[in-house]
Amino acid sequence: MRIVVTRRVPEAALVELRALGEVWVSPEDRPLTPDELRKAVEGASAVVSMLHDRIDASVAEAAGPGLRVVANVAVGYDNIDVPALAERGIAVTNTPDVLTDATADLAFGLLLALTRRIAEGDRLLRARKPWSFHLGFMLGSGLQAKTLGIIGPGKIGHAMAKRAEAFGMHVVYSGRNDPVEDLLRVADVVSLHCPLTPGTRHLIDAAALKLMKPSAVLINTTRGPVVDEAALADALLSRRIAGAGLDVFEHEPDVEPRLLELDNVVLTPHLGSATVETRTEMALLAADNVTAVLTGAEPLNPVHH
């Protein structure tokens, strides 16, 4: 059996996969182009994919009839055409749960960095600008008694809420069938944890941003296209909202240029799951899913269409 890994993963996962057959790991330290991806998967029994790999019918056709499983090293699977693969009898799996705490930590870290102006203060010192302490210097805002609005109350959303409650925040939720407008009007912090679907693409657009309090901030650690980035830049520049903390971007790895110039924005390069422990667990879980399918067992984390 031939197993294709589209980008480098922790060695522990490769050890498990090599016990199943030949393992090919992309030598490129970048996403494969669509043509490179189709070429790489030829003859594969399994593909271990990353969130930047578009896995669709053309990839399945390039792999051939022996492809049995695509194991996505991510919770989200918006990069995979699940129905197209299901039609061909190809299992799709993801890696839920193991990154819950790491992503919630990062989301809350963005919130603290934004509201307490941590990144802005760091930039000031590194620029060697003169400063002196006084009672009005670089005032931020506290979180105690503020309202956190969670859009997408799954495991990561609830983990974010748990951290917020420890800081004395009130928490409100908006799920799949709940109107988001009421949450946007009352929340001091809006934190996005919903998957990217046709229904959530540009969920936060110009109209949604107009509903938020001028003092409110937006946190996004889910998928970039949930937010209309141009509309967000407009809202921040006009002080329609107070700030944003973003770990994901609409056209990743590109970022709306205006956001890069704003002090009321904190940006990180998709670090939600970026701890040694978490990324290792994600890769191992993907390998476990491949092992299950290729040895005739049910996948541990099947994605259903």
Q: Decide if 170 is catalytic.
A: no
Query: Nearest CA to 169 among 150, 140, 144, 142?
Result: 144
Kindly provide the b/e burial profile for residues 79-105, where b requires at least 16 CB atoms within 10 angstroms of the residue's own CB. Answer: bbbbebbeeeebbbbbbbebbbbbbbb
Helix (H) or strand (E) holding 3: strand 2-5
Tokens of 52: 């930047």
From 2, 68, 117, 270, active-site residue = 270
From 223, 229, 279, 281, active-site residue = 223
Kindly provide the b/e burial profile for residues 32-56, where b requires at least 16 CB atoms within 10 angstroms of the residue's own CB. Answer: beeeebbebbeebbbbbbbbebebb
Query: Nearest CA to 220 among 272, 148, 293, 280?
Result: 272
CB 238 within 8 A of CB 217: no
How many other C-beta atoms are found inside a 10 Å radius of the C-beta of residue 224?
20
Q: Decide if 52 is catalytic.
A: no
Tell me how far apart the alpha carbons of residues 82 and 79 are, in angstroms, rounded to a whole number.
9
How many Å separate Cα 140 from the centre of its chain?
A: 27
Cβ within 8 Å of residue 221, ≥6 positions away: 103, 106, 107, 110, 156, 191, 192, 193, 247, 248, 272
From 38, 240, 252, 258, active-site residue = 252
Alpha-carbon radius of gyration of the chain: 21
Q: Decide if 252 is catalytic.
A: yes
**Residue 73 half-sphere exposure, CB side, CA atoms within 13 Å?**
26
Which residues form the catalytic set? 223, 252, 270
